[in-house]
Every structure is written in structure tokens, then in C-alpha cells.
Amino acid sequence: MARTKKVSKFICQSCGYESPKWMGRCPGCNQWNQLVEEFQTVNKTKGAFLHTSSTISLKASPITKIESEQELRVYTNMRELNRVLGGGVVPGSLVLIGGDPGIGKSTLLLQVSAQLAIAQHKVLYISGEESVKQTKLRADRLQVSADELYVYAETNLDAIHQTIEELNPDFVVIDSIQTVYHPEASSAPGSVSQVRECTAELMRIAKTKGIAIFIVGHVTKEGAIAGPRLLEHMVDTVLYFEGERHHTYRILRAVKNRFGSTNEMGIFEMKEFGLEEVHNPSEIFLEERAKGTSGSTVVASMEGTRPVLVEIQALISPTMFGHSKRMATGIDHNRVSLLMAVLEKRVGMLLQNQDAYLKAAGGVKLDEPAIDLAVAVSIASSYRDKPTNGTDCIVGEVGLTGEVRRVSRIEQRVQEAAKLGFERVIIPANNLGGWSIPKNIQVIGVATVSDALQIALGQ
């Protein structure tokens, strides 16, 4: 006869590392005071652990015998969300959305749920943080309503599973995963064990029933989704909802996507009646750009398959202390230091006694190598106090020897610049040829940073 036994483990609340004893510092993530004791109930028979299920549903098959099928996607009325998801919602997928408190995660999912319900899809919105009446008040504020949208306030996973079995919805929203608990797990809701067990059960429901499930995840002070990194590995898609709380624009970025690109980005604007999608984000990022000022350049950056024009601003000023300061917002700090070293060594600019402050305007984060040349031109423009041409767009990767290297998708970048009225684009010389240049824009190829500075600044 099977016997049950409680096993005590100390689990790190940051990374999920398990230890049989308490330690002050976690060996997995080197964080202090993160190991918490949790109890797990196991079945033992003559010293051996019993598996909870021994049924085998499928047999191994040769890959040549498996028939491939095109995944049918469900499109929402938000084209920005469809873009980030890779073309629409895949049935049977598990999507994790993370973001700061108050950024608009619940607002976005409630709007999407209403849109899907209006399209005659049965949607179950499960709230663990609000009551049914509070959710109704938020829906009235957003002016969304549909007969096929069902609201349920519950945190017990067994009750949630039973409701899904009875209702048999097409889509399920869990807001949030940190409030849901598994009754068989003895740890508190939001702990590593609870989040892991609940996510695994939701994944099983999604795959066996073909239900697309959206789950909301809280984030830590560092901006990562709370709980172990295992949570991001278990789901199909991880989306981050970013933006400043004091600004109206929000960015939905894909970090992981098994059904599409991981570099896609969607732009939304928070208004009185909810989120509205922004179809042309380049105009927003450039609408307040000052003309005739030094240290300002425009770069055509690729966010997945979308070209986005972003203004890069640089401010170079003499340092008042012995050690110069380097600060960057939206641009990698190490990339700025590297480019300043290239300018000092290959171009002859004395930047070691200069403070440097750089910013990607609009709150967007740029991390691709194609922004290197625009950053270098911004630094040189501010250092020499020489304004750049307001109708120039600059694209290119900079090497340590001062060469300008080719970038990908140059045709889409140039077309986006031509569409917004730019008259000249400075690109790597190796990117010339092999594609059609728009008629209303001039394309100039450069081989080195010095050539680019001579063309952009006239020096």
C-alpha cells in the first residue's frame, strides 16, 4: 500500500535552485536570503517513488511519416498584437505577458478578450486580483462588452480547471499567475513551486484541449518576470509590455516566440478608453525632433520585420572630475564606450576627458549593430558642435578598425526613410547594389567612419 511522506526542500525564489538545507547565498544565482523552505508530498512504496501517471498516449514515429499541418491562427482587431505574435493567436499556445504594475497588461488583455468574443469566440477571463464587479467596472470604462466574454474570479487551480471543462472556451486569460495556487502544493501562492506547478497544469490544458491561454506575470525590480527562469522556458511565447508610466506610449516586445519572430515590436498609446495601436511609430519618434542642433541623428532600425526611424541624441561636455562619465538611455552602455574608443583612436578625437550622455528618443531600446554609425556621428556632431543635416538618415555597423560594415534589410530601411521625407541616406558601401533605390532619395555608401563624418558633418 502506498505511503505518503512530506519532504522538506529549500528553494530559491529567484532562480528555482533546490537544496536539502538552508544556505544564506544561493549557488545558482548568487542572491542572498532567497532560499525558502517548502514541503512536498510524495508517495513511497518500499523506498521507491511512484510516478503519478504511467499511461503512454503516443508512440515514437519517424519524422518522415509525420504529416505537417499549417497552424491556423486567429486574428484580433489589433494588428500590432498580431504582428508581435507572429501573425495571430495560435490555438493551443501558452502566452506569458510581463510588465510593470499599472503599465496596461490587464487593459490590453480585456480589450483583446472583448474583440475575440465579438468575433463569436468563447473567452474566459479569470481574475485572481479583482472581483467580478471590479472587472465589470473596468470593462465599462473601456467600453467593451460581448455575450461570449465570461468573467470568473478564482485563484484555486482545481476550480479553474473545472470551469474550463464545463465552459469549454476557445481562449482563457489568467490574471495573474502569481495569484493562482495548486491545492496539492503546500507552499504559498506566488512561490517557485506554485508558479511552476500551475504553469505546467495550464500548459497541459492548452495542449490537450487546443485552448489558447494568456497568463499575466509580475516583474521584479530588475524588470524580469518574477519567479524562476523555468517559467519562461515552459511557455510558447513571452511578451514584455514596456513603457514609462508618465508617458502614454507603450511597447509590446516579443522575447520568445515558438510561432514567429522574437524581434517584433508593437506600439500602443494609452488613452481614456484604453489602448490604441500606433500604425506608424516612426512619425511619433521623430515628431518633436529639433532642427539645426548638434548631436542629433536619425537611424533606421529594424524591429523584427518592421523598419523604425529613431532619433539618437548625444551630449558631449568637458568633465569636471578626474573620471569621465558615460551614460546611455535606450542604447547599450558598453557599445557607447566602444564607439568612443574607435573615434579617439581612428579619427583622432580627444574624448577621454569628455562626459558623454546618449539617448534614444521616444523611450525605445535599440540593440542591433546597425545603429553604430549613427551613434558615432551623433557623438562627433556634439563634440565638434557641428549640426547634422535634418534630412539625413544614417545606417551602418562600425568595426574596431574604423570600417563600416554591411547591415541586413537595407532596402526596407531606405524605403522607410524615403516614405517619411528624408532626402539622403548614408549606408555601408558593401550594401550598394543588388536592390532597387527609391527615386526620391539619395543613397551614399561609405567605407570608414571618417568618410561618414566628412559627408554628414562636412569635415
H or E element: which one contains 44?
Answer: strand 35-45
Supply angle C-alpha 172, 177, 180, rounded to 5.
95
3-state secondary structure of 309: strand
**Residue 399 is assigned to a ligand binding site:** no
Where on the phi/psi map is residue 159: left (φ > 0), alpha (ψ -120 to 50), or beta?
alpha
**Residue 101 is assigned to a ligand binding site:** yes
**Residue 100 is assigned to a ligand binding site:** yes
Amino acid at residue number 170: D
**Residue 174 is assigned to a ligand binding site:** no
Query: Which position has the grid cell 501573425?
Result: 87
Query: CB-side exposure of 400: number of CA atoms within 13 Å?
Result: 2
Supply angle C-alpha 245, 246, 250, rounded to 5.
55
**Residue 266 is assigned to a ligand binding site:** no
**Residue 316 is assigned to a ligand binding site:** no
Q: Please list, in sequence order, all residues whose beta carbon lies within 8 angstroms of the beta carbon of residue 235, skipping any fewer than 6 positions away.
A: 94, 95, 96, 199, 203, 215, 256
- Among residues 390, 404, 331, the alpha carbon closest in space to that of 365 is found at 331
Q: Are 335 and 342 in contact (CB under 8 A)?
A: no
Q: Are 190 and 14 in contact (CB under 8 A)?
A: no
Dig out the grid coordinates for 369 from the structure.
Answer: 549593430
Q: How many residues does the chain have?
A: 459
**Residue 307 is assigned to a ligand binding site:** no
Phi and psi dihedrals of 49, rounded to 5? -80, 140
**Residue 367 is assigned to a ligand binding site:** no
Q: How far is CA 266 from CA 250, 280, 281, 423, in A?
A: 8, 10, 9, 27
Dig out the grid coordinates for 457 from the structure.
Answer: 558633418
Annotated binding site: which residue ranges? 99-106
Known binding-site residues for ATP equal: 99-106
